[in-house]
Amino acid sequence: MRPDPPGPDRPGKTRPQKVSVSASAPQAAVWVAIPVYNNSATVRRVVVDCLAIIGRVVVVDDGSDDSDMAALLAGLDITLLRHEKNMGKGSAILTASRHVQGQGGVYMITIDADGQHHPEDIRKFIPLLPADGHKMIVGSRDFGGPNIGPGSRFGRRFANFWMKLETGVYVDDCQSGFRAYPVQYLNQITFHRQYYDFEAEALARMSWAGIQIEGVDIGVTYPPKGQRVSHFRPFMDNLRLTLTHSRLIGRRLLPIPHKTFFRQEPVDYKSLLHPVKLIRALLRENATPEGLAASAAVGIFLATLPLLFFHSVAILYVASRLNLNKLLAFNVQHICMPPVVPALCIEIGYYIRNGTWLTDLSHETVFIQFGDRLLEWLIGSLIVGPVLAILAAVFFYFLALGAKRWKATRP
Cα–Cα dist 200/212, whole Å? 15
pLDDT tens across 332-358, in order? 999 999 999 999 999 999 999 999 999
Provide the 10 A C-beta neighbour count for residue 118: 18
Domains of the chain (ranges plus CATH)? 16-253 (3.90.550.10), 269-409 (no CATH)
Residue 10 has pLDDT above 80, yes or no: no
For range 389-405, the mean pLDDT: 94
- Higher-pLDDT residue of 223, 361: 361
d(CA 180, CA 123): 12
Q: What are phi and psi of 409, to 5 degrees?
A: -90, -10
Query: Quick check: 286 pLDDT over 90?
Result: no
Asked if residues 211 and 182 have their Cβ atoms less than 8 Å apart, the reply is yes
Q: Name the pLDDT band for 8 (thresholds 50, 70, 90).
A: very low
CA distance readout (Å), 345 to 313, 316, 354, 360: 21, 23, 14, 16
Residue 216 has pLDDT above 60, yes or no: yes
- Beta bridge pairs of residue 79: 58
Question: Is the pLDDT at 283 greater than 80, yes or no?
Answer: no
Contact 384, 345 (CB under 8 A): yes
H or E element at residue 81:
strand 79-83
Confidence of residue 390 (pLDDT cuts 50, 70, 90): very high
C-alpha angle 100/103/109, rounded to 5°? Answer: 25
What rounded mean pLDDT belongs to the chain? 86
pLDDT of 12 reads 38
Instruction: Taking each helix axis as running N to C, give the angle between helix 234-253 and helix 150-167, from 0 to 180 degrees, rounded to the nearest 10.
Output: 20
Question: Residue 328: is it exposed, middle or buried by C-beta count within 10 angstroms (0-12/13-18/19+)?
Answer: buried
Give SS3 for 300: helix
- What pTM, to 2 d.p., does this model score? 0.80
Dump pLDDT digits (tens) for 249-271: 999 999 998 889 876 665 555 55
Q: What is the pLDDT of residues 73-122, one digit of tens each?
A: 999 999 999 999 999 999 999 999 999 999 999 999 999 999 999 999 99
Question: Of 130, 129, 113, which Cα lies nearest the Cα of 59?
Answer: 113
Residue 386's closest CA among 303, 310, 306, 322? Answer: 303
The per-residue pLDDT for range 135-148, each reduced to its tens digit, is: 999 999 998 877 67
H helix intervals, 325-369:
326-331, 340-354, 363
CA distance 170 to 249: 16
Q: Check whether 131 has a pLDDT greater than 90.
A: no
Provide the strand spans (E) within 197-255. Answer: 212-218
User: What integer pLDDT is reported at residue 5 of this predicted model?
Assistant: 34
* Cβ proximity of 72 and 48 under 8 Å: no
pLDDT band at 3, cuts 50/70/90?
very low
Q: Are 26 and 53 in contact (CB under 8 A)?
A: no
Q: For residues 356 and 377, give the distance between their C-alpha atoms in angstroms, rounded to a whole number.
A: 15
